[in-house]
Structure 1
Amino acid sequence: MHRIRRLVLLVLSLVTIFASALAYAEPAIWVVKGPHATVYLFGTIHALQKDDPWRSPKIDAAIQHSQTLWLEIPNIDDAASMQPLLMQLGMDQTHPLSTRLTPDEMVKLTKAANSVGLPGGEAMFESFKPWLAALTLSIAPLMQAGYDPNTGVEMELKPEFVKANKPVKGFETAEQQMHYFADMPEKVQIDFLNSELDDFDSAVDKFKQMLAAWSAGDVEALDKLNNADFRDKYPDLFQILVVKRNRKFTAQIQDLLKGDSVSFVAIGAGHLVGKDGVPAMLEKQGYKVTRE
């Protein structure tokens, strides 16, 4: 069960996680206003090294001003409750992963698993569906390098709002997030796995480059590093995991803008940059999105 709890944390870390240690950070934050409502948009980092800085006066002011925190999912810190979902949607005891992959893909999987010292090597993946193997491999080298989902931005934001008696809400549920992956056709799941295997050896270096861009507020570089290859090499997967979700986030944020409250929206940084990002989608709907 310890392994399952650890895997749940990996699943909750999803698609876009950036981290590193810098002396000072100024990540991008945007503000959108409706007739009576205000929404702050902030891109989160789902895994950090302990004490990695990310706060700035602008971010702190927006947090203090906000009445409600909106995350991708509200119970990001409740791994135990996700275990049954992970077993149901991510495991398949009757169709071993090795029967779904080519010999060359299995060689890459074995090399990746052994390089980060995963228990049992590639054998631990035999009962995994391809999407869960991909998610596990997306964060395993980062965790080996000291980055931890337990120290991500959301893990700091949520208790801060709870302590202030401010509501914490979610755009999605953990089950919905898992279904984005589990409902993908098997070919797309294997594409996802191959994308992680192809980038496995350079994952940590790329991770640090993305954080440097995120921390400096360089949204153009962040889009290039985080989304460009993904968008070009795996367009179907990009549509499912990024564009489709961004459209839903945008629609829900539009509903918030019709109200009269101040909301702090904190979702994965990759969802806020580029032509397919939430700020761009809001602008297409006629809203003025201002960089703070």
Structure 2
Amino acid sequence: MRALAIVLCVVIGACATARPRCALVTYAQPRDAVFAWRVQRVGAPGTVILYGTIHTATLSDVPVEALRALDGVTRFASELGDVEPDPGVILDLARLPFGQVLDQLLPADDWWELETAMRGAIKPDDLKRARPWFALIRLMARVAPAPKPSMDVALATRARTRGVPVDPLETWQDQMTALDASVTIADLSGAIRARHTFACSQTNLLASYAARDTPRLTQLLRVGDASLIAKRNATWLPRLEQYVAQDGTTFVAVGLGHLLGDDGLPAMLARAGYTITR
């Protein structure tokens, strides 16, 4: 389970209306370049390749151009690298504070629908203790399970098997704390009501990714808390600058939402004086 990876309905805005609908989208051909940006700086020996992933996709969704670039690098980094979480830490971070229970925080109808949807997948008492982000992840995994391994995990594994060092940009605790701050009870309620559109929305997301539809993906992936993305990007920025200052090429794979818009990493690096080429 990748913490930020599976909260598709929050990211794509499928939960924004009381009566969510989803119509499948199709594309005749790709509309833009691969979601990869080359980062360099005059006088610096290193190069960074920023690659935008979809956490609910897998390796087969990565274009061949990106795989070729990955196979020629000296370093790999992603949000979590290939570090496996401590199950005990996950459980601690997933539980509501003492005295709070989810069935009292949610509207009664939403709780009933959630408990019904999750029956057989999680014990009712455990569901009552779940924080909104954790309940949302479990709901998504229940109604529209993502392929395994995820794109991020598969890329890290590919790098590792080729003898390329793999670095994490943040810890599991960092990511789960960020997710907890971004997913509200209202988000969970919206997701419960929109759960029947999850599979369709995920199909559309992958279609837009394959078609390299930058405007649509910018709209879909930047629906959530933009300040959270900007904050995490700012935290990662010094590490990226270190990579550019070192010899070799570093392939950095992060969620595509972190690379789009004015506070995306390519834009931030361009403002800092780096040369960015897509």
Match of 2:73 among 66, 71, 77: 66
CA distance in 2, matches of 1:108, 1:225: 25
CA distance in 2, matches of 1:43, 1:14: 15
**Are the equivalent residues in 2 in contact too, given 1:116–1:141 (CA < 8 A)?**
no
**Are the equivalent residues in 1 in contact too, given 2:113–2:192 (CA < 8 A)?**
no
* Higher RCO by CA contacts (8 Å cutoff, separation 6 or greater): 2
> Aligned with 1:252: secondary structure?
helix
**Are the equivalent residues in 2 in contact too, given 1:220–1:273 (CA < 8 A)?**
no
> Aligned with 1:151: secondary structure?
coil
Instruction: Tell whether 2:35 aligns with 1:43.
Output: no
CA distance in 1, matches of 2:115, 2:250: 41
Match of 1:86 among 90, 94, 100: 90
CA distance in 1, matches of 2:160, 2:105: 44
Aligned to 2:221: 226
Give the CA deviation at 1:139. 3.8
CA distance in 1, matches of 2:161, 2:121: 38
Listed one character per residue, the Cα deviations across residues 14-37 of structure 1 (whole Å, up to 9, x for unaligned) are 55689xxx9x98742111113211
What stretches of structure 1 of length at least 5 have no aligned partner? 1-8, 231-236
> Aligned with 1:273: secondary structure?
coil
Give the CA deviation at 1:181. 3.2
CA RMSD of aligned residues (A): 3.1
Structure 2 counterpart of 1:129, which letter?
R
**Are the equivalent residues in 1 in contact too, given 2:3–2:179 (CA < 8 A)?**
no
Structure 1 counterpart of 2:67, which letter?
D
What stretches of structure 2 of length at least 5 have no aligned partner? 13-26
**Are the equivalent residues in 2 in contact too, given 1:181–1:189 (CA < 8 A)?**
no
Give the CA deviation at 1:266. 0.5
> Aligned with 1:264: secondary structure?
strand
Match of 1:203 among 193, 198, 203: 198
CA distance in 1, matches of 2:135, 2:193: 14
Instruction: Tell whether 2:144 aligns with 1:142.
Output: yes
> Aligned with 2:3: secondary structure?
helix
Structure 2 counterpart of 1:160, which letter?
R
CA distance in 1, matches of 2:140, 2:267: 27
Listed one character per residue, the Cα deviations across residues 128-150 of structure 1 (whole Å, up to 9, x for unaligned) are 1223223323443221xxx23x2
Q: Residues 223, 112 of structure 1: CA spacing in aligned structure 2 closer, same or farther, 3 A cutoff?
A: farther
> Aligned with 1:38: secondary structure?
strand
> Aligned with 1:53: secondary structure?
helix
> Aligned with 2:37: secondary structure?
strand
Structure 1 counterpart of 2:89, which letter?
L
Aligned to 1:215: 210
How many residues matched? 258
Aligned to 1:273: 260
Match of 1:33 among 40, 63, 66: 40
CA distance in 2, matches of 1:289, 1:118: 49
Structure 2 counterpart of 1:73, which letter?
L
Instruction: Tell whether 2:132 aligns with 1:130.
Output: yes
Listed one character per residue, the Cα deviations across residues 202-232 of structure 1 (whole Å, up to 9, x for unaligned) are 222222111111112222111112224x3xx
Listed one character per residue, the Cα deviations across residues 39-60 of structure 1 (whole Å, up to 9, x for unaligned) are 11111222337xx732434212
**Are the equivalent residues in 2 in contact too, given 1:42–1:269 (CA < 8 A)?**
yes
Aligned to 1:233: none
**Are the equivalent residues in 1 in contact too, given 2:118–2:139 (CA < 8 A)?**
no
**Are the equivalent residues in 2 in contact too, given 1:43–1:272 (CA < 8 A)?**
yes
**Are the equivalent residues in 1 in contact too, given 2:77–2:168 (CA < 8 A)?**
yes
Q: Residues 41, 15 of structure 1: CA spacing in aligned structure 2 closer, same or farther, 3 A cutoff?
A: farther
**Are the equivalent residues in 1 in contact too, given 2:34–2:212 (CA < 8 A)?**
yes
Give the CA deviation at 1:127. 1.1
Instruction: Tell whether 2:274 aligns with 1:282.
Output: no
Q: Residues 271, 87 of structure 1: CA spacing in aligned structure 2 closer, same or farther, 3 A cutoff?
A: same
More helix by share: 1
With the length of structure 1 as denominator, give the TM-score of the two structures: 0.76
Q: Residues 246, 191 of structure 1: CA spacing in aligned structure 2 closer, same or farther, 3 A cutoff?
A: farther
